[in-house]
């Protein structure tokens, strides 16, 4: 009799689990209103979002289509025309309201933003503790103490296993020369690490996380929508785009020519290969501050027909006094080195597309979540 009761109990438990999982699956498949292409906004606030909304600390446009999820972080110091004045985009939510803010982002990006989620940074502590450890690669030693904000940061270069509190500290850190732009890069890494960790979660933990998100954010999603977004994230290629900007004094303005290419990609989810311009990445190998180096590159570069990009990446395995150049296809792009020498009046050491130095550069660039394959050349500027 006991045997039959045990079997009956097991069957009853299976029946309950099957019913629950079927209900979850049904919610994912049948109740979500999400249709592709689909765009939503991720907004981080520097205040308690359950009570008030102040300046937008983080602005990320997300798009889903064709097996891809695209994230476009928008610099919070980006200047936007508003009426007869110009304001930083991070002030528009509190001054103009949600609808105007969403319309501004839609106009800027060329796509229709349908939904949004507004969070306070403290949610990353809660989520991080739920799924810890979260492995994040830290580019360089990070040390900062702010007793007023109860903020104590001390990370060593390399991979760090973080709990929720450490993850929150990492994402809030801004005491480097890149300021807001550097924090965008760290947020990008944190999102990648969280998504990578979340892909291996069981259903029970996933339900718990979705419940946390629903309770601790302001959002327009149903639970079914969040399940569906998770299913997309688990099976899609995830790509972060770089918002095309120009630094002007203490603020940021759009690089409108490059912005048109980004907008086209957001609409089509395919890169336009009709006119392939050579893409060159400039990296500082000198003592200049990042902002000064960035301004120098854009001020000096006059050669036409190039797409140039200046990330905040440095190499500790190259001599600081020397400058280097790596051109992937010398036959296809014979003018890159000539135009680079004419611009900077330096002797550049060629790095062949093989060997230890080449692979070290690829590893370093890729660890910063920059797609090395997108660039036809890497130019490394030394002190002399």
The pLDDT tens digits of the residues spanning 159-187 come to 899 998 888 888 877 666 556 566 767 77
Q: State the pLDDT confidence band at 21, using cuts at 50, 70 and 90.
A: very low
pTM over cut 0.75: no
Give CA 31 to chain center in angstroms: 29
Are β-strands 79-82 and 245-248 bridged in parallel, bridged antiparallel, or unpaired?
unpaired
- Write the burial class of residue 295 (CB in 10 Å: 0-12 exposed, 13-18 middle, 19+ buried): middle
Range name among 112-121, 280-289, 355-364, 366-375 with the lowest pLDDT average: 366-375
- Say which residue the tokens 């940074």 belong to: 121
Residue 100 or 145, more confident = 100
pLDDT of 10 strictly over 70: no
* pLDDT (0 to 100) of residue 13: 43
Percent of the chain with pLDDT strictly greater than 70: 82
Contact between 108 and 81 under an 8 Å Cβ cutoff? The reply is no
38-240 has which CATH code?
Answer: 3.40.630.190
* pLDDT (0 to 100) of residue 106: 94
- What b/e string do you get for 256-282 counting C-beta neighbours within 10 Å, with b at 16 or more? eebbebbbebbeebeeeeeeeebebbb
What is the rounded CA–CA span in Å between residue 239 and residue 147? 36
Mean pLDDT across the chain: 80
* pLDDT (0 to 100) of residue 150: 67
Cα–Cα distances in angstroms (integers) from residue 2 to residues 8, 9, 76, in the given order: 10, 10, 66
- E runs forming strands in the chain: 38-45, 56-65, 68-73, 79-82, 85-88, 115-120, 134-138, 142-146, 151-155, 158-162, 218-219, 237-240, 245-248, 251-254, 279-285, 307-309, 323-327, 348-350, 377-382
Average pLDDT, stretch 15-44?
63
Map out the domains of the chain as residue ranges: 38-240, 276-382
DSSP H or E stretch at residue 268: helix 256-268
The dihedral sign for the CA sequence 264, 265, 270, 276: positive
**Structure tokens that stand for 279 in this block:** 């893409």
Contact between 123 and 209 under an 8 Å Cβ cutoff? The reply is no
Residues 36-51 pLDDT 10s: 999 999 988 765 444 4
pLDDT of 24 strictly over 70: no
With a CB cutoff of 8 Å and minimum separation 6, the contacts of 205 are 130, 131
* pLDDT (0 to 100) of residue 291: 83
DSSP code of residue 184 = H
What is the rounded CA–CA span in Å between residue 60 and residue 90? 12
pLDDT of 96 strictly over 90: no
pLDDT of 310 strictly over 80: yes
What is the rounded CA–CA span in Å between residue 70 and residue 109? 12
Q: Where is mean pLDDT largest: 31-40, 54-63, 195-204?
A: 31-40
**Structure tokens that stand for 307 in this block:** 């797409």
Cα–Cα distances in angstroms (integers) from residue 286 to residues 199, 316, 377, 381, in the given order: 40, 10, 19, 7
Residue 276 or 206, more confident = 206
């Amino acid at each position: 009799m006991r045997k039959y009761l045990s079997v009956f109990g097991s069957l009853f438990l299976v029946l309950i689990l099957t019913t629950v999982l079927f209900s979850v699956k049904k919610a994912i498949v049948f109740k979500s209103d999400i249709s592709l292409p689909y765009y939503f906004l991720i907004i981080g606030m520097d205040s308690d979002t359950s009570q008030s909304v102040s300046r937008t600390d983080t602005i990320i446009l997300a798009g889903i289509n064709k097996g891809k999820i695209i994230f476009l972080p928008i610099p919070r110091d980006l200047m936007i025309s508003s009426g007869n004045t110009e304001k930083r985009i991070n002030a528009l939510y509190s001054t103009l309201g949600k609808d105007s803010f969403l319309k501004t982002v839609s106009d800027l990006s060329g796509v229709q933003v349908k939904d949004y989620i507004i969070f306070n940074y403290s949610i990353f502590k809660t989520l991080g503790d739920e799924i810890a450890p979260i492995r994040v690669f830290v580019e360089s030693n990070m040390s900062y103490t702010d007793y007023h904000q109860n903020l104590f940061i001390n990370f060593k270069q390399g991979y760090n296993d973080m709990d929720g509190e450490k993850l929150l500290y990492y994402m809030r850190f801004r005491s480097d020369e890149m300021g807001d732009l550097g924090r965008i890069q760290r947020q990008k890494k944190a999102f990648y690490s969280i998504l990578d960790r979340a892909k291996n979660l069981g259903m029970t933990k996933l339900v718990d996380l979705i419940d946390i998100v629903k309770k601790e954010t302001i959002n327009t999603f149903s639970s079914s929508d969040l399940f569906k977004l998770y299913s997309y994230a688990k099976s899609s290629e995830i790509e972060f785009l770089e918002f095309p900007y120009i630094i002007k004094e203490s603020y940021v303005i759009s690089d409108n020519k490059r912005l048109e290419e980004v907008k086209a990609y957001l609409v089509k989810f395919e890169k336009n290969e009709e006119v392939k311009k050579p893409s060159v990445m400039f990296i500082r190998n000198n003592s200049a501050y990042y902002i000064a180096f960035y301004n120098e590159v854009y001020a000096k570069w006059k050669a036409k027909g190039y797409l140039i990009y200046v990330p905040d990446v440095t190499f500790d395995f190259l001599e600081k006094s020397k400058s280097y150049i790596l051109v992937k296809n010398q036959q296809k792009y014979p003018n890159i080195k000539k135009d680079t020498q004419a611009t900077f009046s330096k002797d550049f050491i060629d790095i062949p597309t093989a060997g230890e130095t080449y692979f070290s550069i690829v590893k370093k660039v890729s660890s910063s979540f920059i797609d090395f394959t997108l660039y036809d050349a890497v130019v490394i500027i030394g002190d002399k």
